[in-house]
Amino acid sequence: MTGTSGLAYAFMSQKERIAKLKMHAAKAAAMAKFEKMTPNEIAVQIKCLTVSNFLHSKEWRELKAEAHSKYGFRCMCCGYLPKDRRKSHVDHIKPRKLYPELSLDFENLQILCALCNKRKGNKHMTDYRRRRNQ
Ligand SMILES: [Zn+2]
């Protein structure tokens, strides 16, 4: 049976198909980048991808603090300002899973509340900074 995935694809909406193709394109672009990397650079990427390592790394903590001091704690998507600052998340606009090389790129960061961050997940790459600045 080869039909299962084909059938699933047939039932997808146009929007879902485009999203899927975009995801494949992003992965292909990432792979192309990896091929040009030195072993040392790849080691850094692996470190970035290991969630526990990354989120507790000195580099990420410092960058997160920098993002909060530049942007504050207000959600850039819904405008909510959490009383508990721990609920103000520093989000990767382009998800780390797909763009590990942007894990520590300040330009890839935005402030989101816990709810908006959860809603965004790895599926969307909406940059809410632009929308708020307009
Ligand atoms: Zn929000």
40-96: per-residue pLDDT in tens? 777 777 766 666 678 888 889 999 999 999 999 999 999 999 999 989 999 999 988
- Cα 99 to middle of ligand 1, angstroms: 23
**CA–CA gap between residue 94 and residue 26 (Å, rounded):** 10
> For position 134, what pLDDT does the model report?
44
- Cα 113 to middle of ligand 1, angstroms: 4
pTM > 0.85: yes or no: no
Compute the CA torsion angle 16, 18, 19, 20 (nearest 10 deg): 90
**CA–CA gap between residue 91 and residue 94 (Å, rounded):** 9
| pLDDT band for position 2 (cuts 50, 70, 90) | very low
The two tokens of residue 102 are 């942007």
- Cα 102 to middle of ligand 1, angstroms: 22
Beta-carbon count within 10 A of 64 CB: 15
- Cα 121 to middle of ligand 1, angstroms: 13
Which helix (H) or strand (E) segment holds residue 112: the answer is: strand 109-113
- Cα 13 to middle of ligand 1, angstroms: 27
